[in-house]
Structure formats: structure tokens, C-alpha cells
Structure 1
Amino acid sequence: MEFKRSFRINTTDRRCVYPKVHSWSLDGSGDCCSWDGVECDEVTGRVIALDLSSNCLSGTMSPNTTLFRLVHVESLNLAFNSFNFSSIPYGFGNLSKLQYLNLSSSDFSGEIPRDISQLSKLVSLDLSHFSSETLRMPNMGGFIHNLTKLKELDLSLVSLSSPFPPMLANFSSLTLLKLASCGLSGNFPVSIFQLPNLEVLSVANNSNLSGFFPKLHWEIPTSIGNLSLLNELAAWGCYFSGSLPSSMGNLSHLTELYLDGNNLQGQIPISFANLAQLLVLLLSYNNLSGDSLEWMVNLTKLTSLSISGNRFFLVILSAILTILDLSHNDLYGDILGALQNLKNLIMLYLNSLSLNGVLNINDLFTLKNLKVLDLSNNNISFTKSFINATTLKLTNLKLDSCNLTEFPQFIGYSDELRELSLQHNRIQGIIPRLTWNNSKESLLYIDLSNNLLSGFEENQTHLPLPNLNYLDISSNLLETTLPTPPPLVMLYNISNNFLSGEVPTSICEARSLTVLDLSNNALNGTLPPCLGSIGPLILLNLARNKFDGMIPHGYLNGCALRMIDLRENQLSGNVPRSLGNCGMLEYLNLGDNQINDTFPFWLSELTYLKVIGLRSNNFHGPIESSLSEFNFTSLHILDISNNNFNGEFPSNLLKSCHAMKIMVGQDKLAYLDIFGFLPNVSFNISMNSSHTYAMKLMNKGTKREYAKIPDVLMAIDLSNNKFEGFIPKLIGDLESLRMLNLSNNLLNGGIPSSLANLAVLEALDLSRNNLVGEIPQQLARLTFLSFFDVSHNRLSGPIHVECNLIHSGAVHL
């Protein structure tokens, strides 16, 4: 009962099935063996099993929990609850008789306690993890050393970040081994393929794990037969190379094979025809090839096949297929006609097959079970005569980049459509009602972006789509007023059009709105004050319009905004202090407006803030003072240029920019964005709007628009103000700076030699100040420097920069 009282019941959790602890009560008998989820030994009456999976529990588990007093328990299942991303408590080691332990998908985080590794009787251990928080096992080899009786081990999405532990090959009882998405690296030990009882093996999505499939160990000896029981093999998203050995055809129990996203080469062995039990075969995105796959007709149980992203020419298919992905291949012939016999097809992906011409849509109408169709990246159009089009029951239709010039008429006959994507075509004119007329109740997702659409039929201002979650009509030619978003919409993107008029206050009635992008239009008037009170809003982009008046105030506590872009409007007044309630804010760009305010010191309370853009406004007053304390720990870009700031150089502000003091790794190019925080409202069509941060920066003497900001770009622009005093030596601590612009101020003194510490600096502009003395010879060490301007100062002495810079005209003296 004490355990029950330590948690609250959250029946709104999607993992919740039934709160078993509701049946727990002391009715006078004191007998807990009759409680739901509790099993007792029939002789001793002691609790030996506790199953509280999907039990709606919410809270943290204390190390002093009464659970750890159940020392006779042999099976414990706490899966699919929410422990609020707390650490797994130390104490499971007390349960020395445990054979089955399942803590999967229960919102734990932090390091897995070592005492679990003392449970030497464990037969099944499931710590798999499916959340954004990290669950770590730093030394897997040491952790599993004593767990030699394991038959089932699932550590999917647990951060191991280590080489694959070869000792697992000694765990001869293993029937299930799942180590997907664990950050494994190095070579995959082929000795794993000798485990005689293995039925399920998953090492998927470990991109640094390399290896090959051995040609010998798959052959079945006359006695036991290595891997003869294997029924599932998942190694997708790794770096396996080489060819598929013909001996894989001996895995007669195999039902599921996932090898997509590797570097496998050559042909699929004809011995695969012997995999008679195979239900799922995913080989997409490798370098496999072949003229014919006629042997596939022998796979009579195959229901799901994906061979996309290879180089196949002809495929003979099983009639019972329900999922088929042939995209990104070199198939030839009448593909749609060849599919007419696949009466069970539910999902069909034929994108990027170099299809040309007019497709006979009637071929698809014979597939009466078809729900998902993707024909993107083909140069096609459709016949306009239909034979019984009402038989088409599509739920998901994707026709992106097909060179379409009009809406396919058959869309209007679909009355179950949930997702429609027609982006990147050449569809002209108005959006007809038939696009959603029969599916207006079912539609969740519409993407019509990057076309030539000019308006809505009958100038609709309210779209009759009551359940729509995602609407993207960006980058068209719309010349209407702003349509009110549907009531349940989460993403509303109508940017890059020619919309005019004001934003109606009714926009705030979309209480689920997460992304609102109205940028690059001709909208005007004042902004609705309610914009700050849309609770779920993460992205607000109203840049490049003609809005005037004040920035809306009233941002509430717990404000979820991560990006606010209001640049290039005519907004005035001050920066709302209530923005301090947006504790997750990463990007704030108010540049090129008419804001009249002092520097918003309180922004330093926003610890995630990476970009501040205040350029070209009427900001004024000093920033540096004895009272100035800043904490801009995450800042990547600071642009306060073209204002009226004055007083001492803001040394304390720059001193607090800790992210600029750390050299960012450059192994893989990445950009600042909020993609990971956006809702994925699509089941079969991925959300294509990346929503990378963008801004305009002065770089190398010219304004440059950054449509995407690399995460390695660290920049400070204080130019065109009235800052006075010396350039502080501490700027040399900002080692990851790539752009520094202090031009057009009233700075005096010398150029500090500490600037030579800025090893990746690409642009340095100190022009139009009152600097004196010599250019420090140490600056010659700045090998990345491609722009150097110290003109219009009072400098003297020799020039210590690279000669090639001088000859290229990138040095201004």
C-alpha cells in the first residue's frame, strides 16, 4: 500500500491500459495475493511475481521503496509507466531471486545502477528505452559479466557508446538479443552468429558498427546447426558491407530480415528462395543489383518487401504482398499494370522510378485494399477517365515533384484520405473544394507547398477541415487575406506568398498550434495580443511583413516558444519583459524594426538562448556597468549592430558567452534548428519542414542571408554603435568565434594580441574606430582569416597578415 501511495495514477498517459493498483486495498484480510498484478507462491504465500506494466503510474521511485523488501520476488514488470525521467534507484540488487526484470519504456534516465548486474539468476532483462532522455550503461562488458544465464536481453536505445562486447558470444542460452540504437561501434563479432539458440538478433541503427556476414557460420551442421532457430535478424542502419552469403538461405525459420541502410553489394543469392517462412524482407538503400528477382515468387508468405535505393531492373512478386517499396530503382516495363494481381496491397511506394507520361489510374483502382500510395519524383500525369473511381480507398497519397500542372481529379473521389502531399509541382490556379470535399472529416495532413497556387475556390477564409493537424501552403502565389487556421491544426505554414491584410484574432482559437509561419508576405496592421498566450506554440515566424505597433505582451509562465522571428517589419515600442517566461527560447530575432528600448539584460536568464538579433533598431544606452551580470551560456550569435548603444565596451556580456569558448566539433555538418521538438503528426509521410534558424549577418563586408545557420558559426557584431574604451583581452577566450565585427564605434587603444587565439576566425572588422599602435604580429597565425579590415584608424607599423590575403583584396588598411 505504501508503494501505491508513492505514485499518482495518470490515466491520460497513452501507455496506460488499466491501473491495477486500484484493486489494492486492505479489506481486513491483509491478503495481497488477490490483488491485480500480484502472484504468490501457493505454499509459502510469499509474493513471487509483480506485473504492473501499463499501470498508469506516474512519479519517482525512491531507493527506500517497499518494492525492494519483496526479496522472494522472481519476476518484476514495471514497463510502460512514467517515472518522470528520474534515475533507476539503487536497490534492485536486493532482489537476488529475480529471474525476469522489465523496466522498459518507463521514462527512466541517467546511469543504470550497477547492482542490477549482481542479479546472477536473471533469465530476461529488458531496459529498452524510447524517450529523448538518455539512459546510460557506461561499461556493458563489466555489467553483463555475471548475467550468464540470460536468455533475453533488450537494451534498445540505451546509450552504450562502446564497442560491441564480444563476451556475448559465450552466452549460449540467448534466444533474444536486442541492442538497437545503442551507439555501438567497431567491428561486429562474427562469433555471435554461432549462438545455437538465438531466435531474435537486432543491432539496428548503430551507424558506427561495421562488419560482414560470414560465409561459413551460417551453414547448418548435422548436429545442432548454428542459428538454425533464428526467426528475426535486424541490422538496418549499420555499416555492414560485402555481399550476402548464399548460406543465408539455410536459415529456414527466418520470418523477418531487416538489412536496409547498409553498404551491402552484389546480387541477392538465389538461395533466398529457400526462406519459405519469410514474412518481411527489407533490403533498401544498399548497393545491391540484379537483372531479375524471379525467385521471389517462391516466397509465398512474404507480406512486406522493400528493395528501394538499389539497382534492380525486374521483380517478380508474391501475390499476397501487403507492403511493397520498389522506389529508387531502375525498373522497366508497365509497372502499374504488373501490380494488378497484388490484390492484398495496402502500402505501395514507387517514388523515383523515372516513370514518364500519362499513367492509367484505372490500374490502381483494381487494388481495392490500397491505402498508401507514393509516386513522388516521377514525371507523370493521370488519365481523366475513371472506371469506378469510388473503389479507391486511399488514406495517404504522396505525389511530390511529379511535374503536375493540375490537381489529379481522382483525389476528389477519396473519402478516407488522411494525408495528402503534392509539394514541389507546377499546379496552377485556385485550390478547388474537391481537394478535400469528400475527406474533410478524415484529413490530418496537407502539404501543397512550392506550387503556383493563387487562391482558394470562392475565396474561402475558413477551411472546412475540422481535424487537420498539418497545413503547409508555403511558397505559392496566394494573393488573398490570411485564412483562419483549422481549429486542431498544429503546424500552419503559409509563408512566402503574397497575402495581405491583418492577422485576425481568431487565429488564437487554434489552441493546439505549435508552428505558425506567416513570414515573407505583405501582411500588415498590429499583431493580435493573444499570440503570446497560445500555450503549445514552439515556433513563431512573422518575419518580412509590414506589421506595425507593439510586440504582443503577455507571454505566460511555461511558454513553450523556442523560436521567435519578427525581423524586417515596422514594429515599435519595447521588448516585452514577459518573454522571460519563455524558458526554452533558443532564437530571438527582432532585427530591422523600429524598437525603442535599452538592452534587455533579462535575456541572460534564458539559458538555452543561442541567437540574439537586435540589429537596425533604436536600441540605446549603455550595456556595460558595475551592475551588469550576464549568463549567456549558450549564445552562438549576437548581433546588436546599427543601433545607438553607447558607453564602455560590453566586456561582461562577452565574458558570459561560454559556448563561444568551446571549440565545436566539425566532423559532421549540422544546423541550428528545432526539428527535434516539432510534433510528428504524420504516420506514413514524413514532415518535410525542417525549420532551420535563418538570419541576415554582415560577413566580410557584405550582408549575407543565412537560410541555414551552421552550428559551428559563432559570430559577434557590435558595429555601428557608439561603444567606447579598449577592446578587452578576454575576447581572445572566445576560441570558436568565426566572425567578429566591431567597426564604426569609438574604440581606442591597441589591437589586443589575444585575438590570435581565435584560431578559426574567418572575418575580422575593426574599421572606423580610433585604434592606435601596431597590428600584432601574432595575427599572422590566423590561417582561416579571409577578411581583415582595420581601415580608418590610426594604426602604424608593419602588416602581419598572410600575403595571399593582401593580394586577394581581403585586407583593408
Structure 2
Amino acid sequence: MEFKRSFRTNTTDWQCVYPKVNSWSLDGSGDCCSWDGVKCDEVTGRVIALDLSSSCLSGTISPNTTLFRLVHLELLNLAFNCFNFSSIPYGFSNLLRLKYLNLSNSDFSGEIPHDISQLSKLISLDLGNSLFGTLHFPTMGNLVHNLTGLKELDLSYVSLLSPIPPMLANFSSLTSLKPGHCKLHGEFPVSIFQLPNLEVLHIGGNSNLSGFFPQLRWGSPLKSLHLYQTNFSGEVPTSIKNLSLLNELIAWDCYFSGLLPSSLGNLSHLTLLDLSKNDIQGQIPFSFANLAQISTLRLAYNNLSGDTLEWVVNLTKLADLDISGNQLSGRFPSSFENLKQLTWLNLSHNDLHGDISGTLWNLKNLLGLWLRSLNLNGVIDVNNIFKLENLIFLSLSFNNNPFTKSFINPTTSKLSFLSLDSCNLIEFPQFIEHLSKLVLLKLPNNIIRGTIPRSMWKDSKESLRYIDLSHNLFTGFENNQTNLPLPNLEYFDISSNLLETTLPVPPPSIKLYNISNNVLYGDIPTSICEGSSLTMLDMSNNALNGTLPPCLGSISALIFLNLARNKFDGMIPHIYPDGCALRMIDLSENQLRGIVPRSLGNCGMLEYLNLGDNQINDTFPFWLTELAFLKVIDLKSNKFHGPIEGHPSQLNFSSLHILDLSNNSFNGKLPSMLLQSCRTMKVIDGEGKLAYMNIHLIIDLSFTSINGTDMTYHMTLKNKGTEREYVKILDILVAIDLSSNKFEGFIPELIGDLKSLRMLNLSNNFLNGSIPSSLAYLTVLESLDLSLNNLVGEIPQQLASLTFLEVFDVSHNRLSGPIPRGTQFDTFGSNSFAMNEGLCGSPLPNKGTNVDNAPPPPSFTIDNEEESLFDLDWKIMLAGTGVGFLVGIVLGNLVIDKKSRWFLRCSKRMARRWNR
């Protein structure tokens, strides 16, 4: 009763089935052996079992819990309750008679008490948690070394951070072993497969755990085997036929290779086989026709080939078939007529061609049908689609699929998710108007012209959550009615069309709104701010005008804001509250005035700030140093003024990749303190994969999470003497542009510390003094522009060691002496050195004295860290080409010369190698 009083019961908890403790009472006989969940020994009357699973308990277990007084307990089950992430109490050593202990899925957290490892009589131990469990233990071996009599062990989602102990191979009684999602690492002991009684082995979700199947002598009792998301590799051996009782094998997202053994067809009890996302090759064995019990078969995203699916005919219990993402060829199969139980069918991304088989339309139980990218042709009779009365998901994307116009008005269709991306549609499919349960509609990348019909949502106003009409030729809305009568719409992408109208205002439920790349005009109404859940707003590349609504900065959920390349004027909104979630702001190429709002400092997660090409009149916003994640600052072509160097603030731009302050009126010395604080620019990352700067948005919609929406940065940079538009920007691009200001004084030697710089432009200032030799430390530099200054002295000979330098411009200075020889300097034209009367040597007419006999430039030591980015087998190809690394691999450059096209082809091959 004391234990009962320490908790409350919560019948609203989803895990709650029945509050067993409600039957506990001292009224009447007070015999606890009759209470729900309590079992007593029939001879002694002592409590030997306490089963309170799913009993709606809520609270925390006290360290002095009375449970530990029940020293005769042989079974304790507290699973599926809510203990509020409290610790499991220490004291189980009092219960040395325990045989069954189940504390699973009860919201415990912290370290598992060590005295549980002393319960040597345990037969079953279940500490498995849900996905959100936070239990941990130092090593798995220390937990189980005394529990040699275990038959069942479940540690799912317990953080162990250790190898699987080989001693488990001696636990001959084990029938079930489930250490899935435990952060295990190392090599899986292959001898565990050979345990004589093992029926269940679930080790999936341990991404650092490697292993392979044994070739001989392994676990004939095995019934369930989960290896998904591990580093298991090698071939599936012929000996798998020994697992005669196996009913499920789940091994997706591993590293299995080779051929599928025909012996898999001998597993007559197999009901589930999932080998998706491996590197398995060859044909699907025809012996699969013998898998008479199989209901789920998934072989997606391998390298399987073959031109027939006739083996499917006999699989009459098949409910889920996914063979997408392979190299299956031939005509679309006609062998589905016997698959009456089929509910999910995915044949996408293969080389099947021809018309859709008529047998598909007779599969009345189909819930999902995915036929993406199959080279299908012919006209699809819409009436056939509506024969599938239970169909919820349909994807025909990336096919040439026009539809018949005439059809019977459907009244019973359950179709909710329809994807017709890239189907060469030239008109809006009329049957969509009659889908009363439509939730998601994808029609991007077609050639649909004219206005968007309001009848599109005639029957689905309430249900529609997601609409993508991007990359078509829509010119407006029917009757020019831009209000969207869709009260529950959350995702609306109508970008890259020809919309010439005022801004359609989405409902307050909207979370992602993209209407960029159209011809919209007029202003932004303040009602846009009613969308308190708005996460992503992109109206860039239109002709919108007027002032920005002051409320824009107050949308608490907003992460991505892009209003670039419009005609907005007035002030930037000044209210950005504490906790502002913005990570990307692009207001470039407008006519905005005033100053940069100080309250932007409340946007602590901001990574990208582009205010370039406006009329902002302000001094440098030093408070930006408070934004620890800021990667890009672009303030170019405004009216910024005043000095930057010498400001008393402690600067810290530790994450900065790109700084563009060009075409302003900054003055004073070059901002040495600012540059010194750019820690990211001091390290060359030679190990990371090629990736683009972006924001990875996870947008929780009411029906799913859109995980993987990458919003890439977009900007214009002056690179190598040319304004270039970067639709995507590689993460390795590190650039500084301070050109066309009024900076004066010397170029500081510390600029050589910024070793990852690829672009440096200090041109058109009032700099004097000499060119620092420390620039030679910028070993990946591709573009260096020091033109239009007052620099004197010689060009340091050490700069000849910059083998990636494609553009070098020191024209219009007062330099003298010989031009360095060798490597890239032999590729620069005379324009790079013009208007420096004292310079001599090739390519200038003035060859100087004994220039041809001058010694080669001194060698320049490059440390391993600098060299590592290019330490691949194609490094020699890059050396001396005169073509910078970045030109080839930044996609979306609008200006690419002939040499760069050659390099682009080469570098794409390099990128594929890196990404393997």
C-alpha cells in the first residue's frame, strides 16, 4: 500500500491499459494475494510475482522503495508505465531470487544500477526502451557476465558504447538477444550465430557494428534476424538454407554484396525479407517463386538486373513488394493477377517500359502504388485509377503519362497522396478536382500553361495540406482570385512559373511558402504574419515593391527568409524578439534604406546574412560577432562607412566562410582584428565530403515530417575578375572581398594565417606598403586581386608556390622588380601586371636584366594539413593547369570559360569518388 501511495494513476497515458493498483484495498480480508497483478506462493503465501505492466503508473520510484522488501520476488514487471525519466533505484541485490525482470518502456533514465548484474538467477531481462530512452551502462560485458542462465535479453535503445562481449557465445540457453540501437561497435562475434537455442537476434541500428554471415554450421533455430543499419558485409552464403525455421530477415542499409543465393528459396517459413539498400548484384533467383509464405519482400536500391518478374506469380500471400531502384529491364510485367493480397507495390526507378499492365487495376486491396521513373508510355485511362477504391498513395512521376479526359465521376476514391512530377503534362488533370480526400498533390516540372483552376480544390478544400506546382508555366489564378480557400494548407510551392499577379496570401496554417521566380507585383500584406507556424518564406526574384511589413521579424517559427531581387524600399523590419529562430536572411538587390537593425542580434542561430545591393547607410554592425554560427556576411554595394579596425569590441567571427564588404565607403586600416578572429578560415578541411552550404529544414506537417528539404545559399560574388551568380555554394568556399572601399595602410602579415582562403580581393583601395610574403601560406588560393592600390616593392618570389592560383591581378600599383617565374605565373597575361612601371620580366615587354637566367623560385614548404585536401590520385592533374579547383566544382556559375568546362568534367568525377 505504501508503494501504491507513492504514485498516481494516469489513465490518459497512451501506454495505459488498466490501473491494476485500483483493486488494491485493505477493506474486507485485505488479502493482497487476490489483488490484480500480485501472485503469491500457494504454500508459503509470500509474494513471488508483481506484474504492473501497462498499469497507468505515473511518478518516480523512490531510492528507498518498498519493492525491495519483497525479497521472495521471482518476477517483477513494471513495463509500459511513466516514471518521468527518473533513475532506476539501486537495491536489486535484495531480490536475488528474481528470474524475470522487465523495466522496459517506462521512461527510466540514467545509468542502470550495477547490482542488476548480480541477479544470477535471471532467465529474462528486459530493459529495452522506446526511441527516446536514455538509459546507459558503461559496457555490455560488465552487465551480463554473471547472468549466464539468461534465455531472453532485451537492451534495445540502451546506450552501451561497447563491443558485444564474446562471452555471450557461451550463453547456451539464450533464445532471444536484442541489443538493437545500443551504439555498439567493433566486430560481431560470429559464434553467436551458432548458439544452439537462439531463435531471435536483433542487433539492427548499431551503425558502427561490423560482421558477416558464417559460411557453415549456424543457428538452425533462428526465426527472426534483424541486422539493418549495421556494417555487416560480405555475401549472403548458400548455407542460409540451414535456417529452415527463419520467418523474417531484415538487413536493409548494410554492405552486403555479391549474388543472392538460390538457396534463399528453400526458406519455406519466410514471411518477411528486406535486403534493401545494399550492393547485391545479379538476377533475382527464380527459386523465390517457392517462398509461398512470404508477405513482405523488399529488395530496393541494389544492383539487381534481369528482364522478368514471372517468379512473382506464385507468391499469393504477398502484401508488400518493393524492388525499386534496381536495373530490372524489359516490358512492364503482366504477372500480378494472382497477387490479390497486395497492398504496397513499388517498382520505381527501373528500366521497365511499355504500358501499365491491365492486371494492376484489378488489385482491389492496393493502398500504395509507386511507378516512378519507368519509361512508361501510352495514355492512362483515369477510370482504371478509380477502380482501385482503397488506393491512398499513387506516384507516376518521371514518366510520359497523359491521362484520358473522359471518366466516370468518382465518388468513393480514397486517393490522398498523388505525385505526377515530370510527366510532361500540358494541362491540369481534371480528375484531381474530384479527389475529396486529397492531402498531398505534386505536379512540379511539367509544362502546364494558363491559369490555376479554382476547381482544383473543389472537393478537397478541407483535406489539402501539401501542394507543389513549381516549375510549370502557370500565369495566374482563375478569375484573378488570389485568396487561397484552403484552411489547412501547410506546404505551398508555386515557384518558377510565370505568375503575373499580386501576392496570393496563404492561410495561417502555412509552414512552407515558396513563390519565388515569378513576376509578382504589389506589396506584401501584413496578413502574411498571421502564419505563426511559418518556417520557410521565399518570395525572391519577383517585382514586389513597397515596404516590408514590420511584423516579419516577429514570426517565431521562421527559419528561412528570402526576399532578394525585388523592388522593396523603406527600412528593414526592426523587431526580432529573443529566441528568434532565423538561420537565413537574404534581402539583397532591393532598395532598402536605413540601418541594420540591432535586434537581429537576437537571432542566435543565424548562419547567412545577405543585405547586398541596397541603400543601407550605416557603420559596420559589430554586434554580429555575437552570432556564433554566422557563415556568410554580405554587405556589398551599400552606403556603409567608417572604420572597422580599432573598434573596442572583442570580435569573434569563428564560423565565417564568406565576408563581402565591397563597394562601400569603409575607411581606416584593413580590419586586422576582424580577420584574426575568423578561426574557420585558418584551417583547411581536407577530410569532409564535397557539400553545399545550406539549411537542412525539417518541417513537421500534420501528416508527416518533410525531412531533407535543403535550402541552399544563393549569392553573387566577384570571383576571378567576373561577377558570378552562385546558385549553390560549396562549403569549402572561403572568400574575402574588401574591394572598392577607402581602406589604407599596409596589408597585414597575419593574412597568411587564413590558410583556407580561396578568394581574396583587396582591389581599388588606398593600400600602400609591400605585398606580404605570408600570402604564400594560402596554399589553396585561386584568386588574388590587389589591383588599383599604391603598393610598392617586389612581388614576393614565394607566391610562385601557389599552384591553384588561376587569377592574379596587381595592376595599377607602383610595384618593381622581376615577376616570379614558374607554375601559375607562366599562365598570367600582361593585364595582370599592367601600369607598374618598375616591373619587368615575362609577360611584360620589359624583360629586365638577366631575367631569363634567373634562378627558379625558392621552394616553399607545405605542411601536411594544407596538402591533405588534395592528397588524392588526381592531384598531379591539378598541378600547373592554371585552372582553380573551385571553378570546376561550383555548380551554377553563369560564366565558365573553355578551360573550366574541361575541368568541370574532371572534377565531377572527383566529386563522385569523394562521395562514395
Question: For residues 7 and 715 of structure 2, what CA distance do their matches in structure 1 show?
Answer: 46
What CA deviation, in whole Å up to 9, does each residue of 1:314-369 have, x standing for no partner? Answer: 53222221111112223345424131221111111112121223221222222111
Question: Is 1:293 matched with 2:309?
Answer: yes
1:176-575 aligned at under 5 Å gives the runs: 176-184=200-208, 188-190=212-214, 194-206=218-230, 210-215=233-238, 217-220=239-242, 227-309=243-325, 310-313=327-330, 314-315=332-333, 316-317=335-336, 318-575=339-596
Distance change in 2, residues 1:433/1:664 (3 Å): same
Question: Is 1:661 matched with 2:688?
Answer: no
Question: For residues 173 and 582 of structure 2, what CA distance do their matches in structure 1 show?
Answer: 49
Distance change in 2, residues 1:195/1:600 (3 Å): farther
> How many Å apart are 1:458 and its aligned residue?
2.4
What CA deviation, in whole Å up to 9, does each residue of 1:22-54 have, x standing for no partner? Answer: 989999999997973679699747695353547
Percentage identity across aligned positions? 55
Distance change in 2, residues 1:533/1:50 (3 Å): farther
Distance change in 2, residues 1:372/1:2 (3 Å): farther
Name the aligned partner's letter for residue 490 of structure 1: K
Name the aligned partner's letter for residue 124 of structure 1: L
1:83-122 aligned at under 5 Å gives the runs: 88-89=110-111, 91-92=113-114, 96-97=118-119, 99-106=125-132, 108=134, 113-114=138-139, 117-120=142-145, 121=147
Which sits farther off after the overlay, 508-517 or 745-754? 745-754
Question: For residues 136 and 606 of structure 1, what CA distance do their matches in structure 2 show?
Answer: 36
What CA deviation, in whole Å up to 9, does each residue of 1:523-550 have, x standing for no partner? Answer: 1111111111111111111111111111
Question: Is 1:618 matched with 2:639?
Answer: yes
User: What are structure 2's unaligned runs of at least 5 residues?
Assistant: 33-37, 39-49, 58-65, 834-916
Question: For residues 178 and 414 of structure 1, what CA distance do their matches in structure 2 show?
Answer: 42
What CA deviation, in whole Å up to 9, does each residue of 1:400-438 have, x standing for no partner? Answer: 101111111111111000100000001111111121110
Preserved CA contact (<8 Å) 2:295 2:317: yes
Preserved CA contact (<8 Å) 2:681 2:754: yes
Secondary structure at the aligned position of 1:339 is classed as helix
Question: For residues 639 and 28 of structure 1, what CA distance do their matches in structure 2 show?
Answer: 78
Preserved CA contact (<8 Å) 1:114 1:143: no
Name the aligned partner's letter for residue 235 of structure 2: F
> How many Å apart are 1:67 and its aligned residue?
2.1
What CA deviation, in whole Å up to 9, does each residue of 1:351-390 have, x standing for no partner? Answer: 2121223221222222111111111111121111113433
Match of 2:886 in 1: none
Match of 1:223 in 2: none
**Could you state the TM-score of these two structures normalised by the residue count of structure 1?**
0.88
Distance change in 2, residues 1:450/1:418 (3 Å): same
Preserved CA contact (<8 Å) 1:190 1:213: no
Name the aligned partner's letter for residue 782 of structure 1: L
Question: Is 1:589 matched with 2:610?
Answer: yes
Name the aligned partner's letter for residue 218 of structure 1: I
Question: Is 1:737 matched with 2:757?
Answer: yes
Secondary structure at the aligned position of 1:358 is classed as coil
Match of 1:577 in 2: 598
Question: For residues 566 and 432 of structure 1, what CA distance do their matches in structure 2 show?
Answer: 32
List, as ranges, runs of 4+ consecutive aligned residues in structure 1 with deviation greater than 6 Å.
1-12, 19-35, 37-43, 142-150
What CA deviation, in whole Å up to 9, does each residue of 1:179-237 have, x standing for no partner? Answer: 4454337663546992444333333345x65321112x2132xxxxxx33332222223
Match of 2:794 in 1: 774
> How many Å apart are 1:285 and its aligned residue?
2.3
Preserved CA contact (<8 Å) 1:175 1:197: yes
Question: Is 1:49 matched with 2:71?
Answer: no
Secondary structure at the aligned position of 1:537 is classed as coil
Preserved CA contact (<8 Å) 2:51 2:75: no
Preserved CA contact (<8 Å) 1:9 1:58: no
> How many Å apart are 1:583 and its aligned residue?
1.2
Distance change in 2, residues 1:787/1:158 (3 Å): farther
Question: For residues 385 and 117 of structure 1, what CA distance do their matches in structure 2 show?
Answer: 71
1:18-37 aligned at under 5 Å gives the runs: 18=16, 36=55
Secondary structure at the aligned position of 2:402 is classed as strand
Secondary structure at the aligned position of 1:531 is classed as helix
Equivalenced residues, count: 787
Preserved CA contact (<8 Å) 1:40 1:46: no
Which sits farther off after the overlay, 609-618 or 16-25? 16-25
> How many Å apart are 1:10 and its aligned residue?
12
> How many Å apart are 1:269 and its aligned residue?
0.9
Question: For residues 774 and 10 of structure 1, what CA distance do their matches in structure 2 show?
Answer: 81
Preserved CA contact (<8 Å) 1:629 1:653: no
Question: For residues 758 and 203 of structure 2, what CA distance do their matches in structure 1 show?
Answer: 40
Name the aligned partner's letter for residue 154 of structure 2: L
Match of 1:128 in 2: 157
Question: For residues 396 and 670 of structure 1, what CA distance do their matches in structure 2 show?
Answer: 31
Distance change in 2, residues 1:637/1:410 (3 Å): same
Question: For residues 8 and 593 of structure 1, what CA distance do their matches in structure 2 show?
Answer: 62
Question: For residues 757 and 153 of structure 1, what CA distance do their matches in structure 2 show?
Answer: 56
Distance change in 2, residues 1:76/1:666 (3 Å): same
Secondary structure at the aligned position of 1:748 is classed as strand
Match of 1:132 in 2: none
Name the aligned partner's letter for residue 213 of structure 1: V
Match of 1:77 in 2: 103
Secondary structure at the aligned position of 1:338 is classed as helix
Match of 1:224 in 2: none
The counterpart of 2:725, out of the listed 691, 705, 722, is 705
Preserved CA contact (<8 Å) 2:469 2:493: yes
Preserved CA contact (<8 Å) 1:422 1:449: yes
Preserved CA contact (<8 Å) 2:84 2:108: yes
Match of 1:632 in 2: 653
Question: For residues 10 and 707 of structure 1, what CA distance do their matches in structure 2 show?
Answer: 54
Distance change in 2, residues 1:154/1:75 (3 Å): same
What CA deviation, in whole Å up to 9, does each residue of 1:90-137 have, x standing for no partner? Answer: 74565643722123322649x8533784243374233438xxxxx682
Distance change in 2, residues 1:125/1:599 (3 Å): farther
Question: For residues 605 and 487 of structure 1, what CA distance do their matches in structure 2 show?
Answer: 32
Name the aligned partner's letter for residue 143 of structure 2: Q
Secondary structure at the aligned position of 1:257 is classed as strand
Which sits farther off after the overlay, 169-178 or 498-507? 169-178
Name the aligned partner's letter for residue 128 of structure 1: Y
Name the aligned partner's letter for residue 230 of structure 1: L
Distance change in 2, residues 1:571/1:46 (3 Å): farther
> How many Å apart are 1:571 and its aligned residue?
0.9
What CA deviation, in whole Å up to 9, does each residue of 1:530-577 have, x standing for no partner? Answer: 111111111111111111111112111111111111111111111111
Secondary structure at the aligned position of 2:558 is classed as coil
Higher-Rg structure is 2
Question: For residues 8 and 792 of structure 1, what CA distance do their matches in structure 2 show?
Answer: 82
Which sits farther off after the overlay, 256-265 or 550-559? 256-265
Distance change in 2, residues 1:538/1:69 (3 Å): farther
Distance change in 2, residues 1:802/1:345 (3 Å): farther
Name the aligned partner's letter for residue 311 of structure 1: L
Question: For residues 4 and 497 of structure 2, what CA distance do their matches in structure 1 show?
Answer: 56
Preserved CA contact (<8 Å) 1:590 1:613: yes
Preserved CA contact (<8 Å) 1:118 1:146: no
> How many Å apart are 1:500 and its aligned residue?
0.7
CA RMSD of aligned residues (A): 3.6
Question: Is 1:795 matched with 2:815?
Answer: yes
Preserved CA contact (<8 Å) 2:68 2:91: no
Question: For residues 11 and 828 of structure 2, what CA distance do their matches in structure 1 show?
Answer: 68
